[in-house]
Amino acid sequence: MVEKTPLPLTALHEEILQVFDKISLFGGLDKVQTSSLLSLEGQVSYSENEVIFVRGAQPSHIYIVLNGRVRLDFGATDHPLADLHFDAGACFGEA
């Protein structure tokens, strides 16, 4: 797994603000506060089936799915969360 360097968010700023409006974690923030938060981070894209982080590793960011879908893979079909997906507008990881 290769650590990716975030790209600036300026091109997707409005799209990201719309997604933030739907995430309860950011629900109490106004547009100015959300914009300030966005200036701290960047966008990273992942290819289909690319690993974002592995089980046991501590996530270093909160990941927000802007488009596409992220699947959790526990390596066992009988795991209680084996079919968990995060669709656009969802977030996961650690803030």
Q: Which domain holds residue 74?
A: 14-43+58-93
Has residue 53 been placed in a domain? no
Higher pLDDT pick, 32 / 79: 32
Domain count, the chain: 1
Secondary structure in 3-state letters for 51-71? CCCCCCCCCCCEEECCCCEEE
pLDDT of residue 1: 56
pLDDT of residue 6: 59
Give the global pTM: 0.66
Query: Model confidence over 2-33: pLDDT tens digits?
Result: 566 655 555 566 777 777 777 888 878 887 88
pLDDT tier for residue 48 given thresholds of 50, 70 and 90: confident
Has residue 30 been placed in a domain? yes
pLDDT of residue 12: 64
Question: Which helix (H) or strand (E) is 37 found in, with range?
Answer: helix 31-38
Other beta carbons within 10 angstroms of residue 39's beta carbon come to 12
